[in-house]
Amino acid sequence: MIDERLPLTEPSSLRHYEALLRRLPRSHPHYEQVLNTEGRERAGYFGEKEFLYYLNFVKQEPIFSLAGLRLLHDEHYFQIDHLLITPQLCLIIEIKHLTGTITFNDSNQMIQTTDHERIYTHPKLQANLQAKQLQHVLAHLGYQLPIQTLVVFTHRQGKLITQHPGLVTAPSFIHKYEEIIARYPTVLSESECSWLADQLSSRHMDRAINVMEKFKIREADLLKGVLCPDCAGQQMMRKHGAWYCPRCKSVDKRAHVQALKDYQILISDTISCREACEYLGVESRHVTRRLLLFAGCELIGDNRSAHYKIR
């Protein structure tokens, strides 16, 4: 059984991209760029989930798994898609979730061919750099362990064309894993593996992202109001104590909760009553205060300094 010491979770960046896509007009010059970035990030997450399916077929124990491990080395962070700690070695898994035909040239480039070509740096170079960085982190912890790297292609519609032994499709992972492990003697006990997994996971730092800064988008560029979850970009109206969509006629009492979450992600985690009136499109301050409290916001301060912490 795999010990998921650092389990796979949906990247927080996906929530940020989703919020930005909800609030950015489709006519905005950066909309397509944001959409493509979100698509790549989501594809990577799908690939990591697909890899877990095959990882769970490995029967050897113990194996300690750390997904998305992000560590500091020489004032810079590096992130490993999947790290497996075993009694024999540490195995870095670089995951690629790509469709089409995947080939490689003599210039250490990977070429993805679908209806057009995309060129990437050879993923083995990235994995090997991560191995060097991890080696320094392990040395700081007093460990000198073998580190191997493996690139796993997870998309079922991807055709991998290569003879490189360090590049495999997901269904071939188990055989390759067993082949790698068989080449190394045992150097750690289970308790030592567990301790090392704990040390590394305690040093993990989630990646912080400011999508507004990343794409140079201003607050004024964003759509305001409570948006219908079923009609992209359609503003809802406040009517009889609920939110009403004039396009699809749906009614929702909680639609403003998502609007406030978008505000929290993209603008600020605090909001004044005046700002909330303008953002939600509600004229009455009394109604706005009730909406904020209904959404679980915490009132901080009083009188003119009063504002609400969005949770």
Q: How high is the pLDDT of residue 1? A: 76
pTM here is: 0.89
Q: Tell me the CATH number for domain 223-309.
A: 1.10.10
Element (H, E) at 291: helix 285-294
* Class of 2-202 in CATH: alpha beta
How many residues does the structure list for the chain? 311
Domain range summary for the chain, segments of one domain joined by +: 2-202, 223-309
User: Which tokens in the block code for residue 230?
Assistant: 């079923």
Answer yes or no: are the C-beta atoms of 48 and 81 closer than 8 Å.
Answer: yes
Rounded Cα–Cα distance for residues 147 and 131 (Å):
6
Q: How high is the pLDDT of residue 173? A: 97
Percent of the chain with pLDDT over 90: 93
Q: How far is CA 41 from CA 36, 218, 234, in A?
A: 9, 23, 26
Which strands make up the sheet holding 90-96, listed edge to edge? 2-6, 63-73, 76-85, 90-96, 147-153, 167-169
Q: What is the pLDDT of residues 219-248, one digit of tens each?
A: 999 999 999 988 878 999 999 999 999 999
Per-position DSSP letters for 79-108, written without gaps between them:
EEEEEEE-SS-EEEEEEE---EEEEE-TTS
Q: Is the pLDDT of residue 42 over 80?
A: yes
Q: What's the pLDDT band for 304 if we cut at 50, 70, 90?
A: confident
Q: What's the pLDDT band for 215 if we cut at 50, 70, 90?
A: very high
Q: Is the pLDDT of residue 302 over 90?
A: no
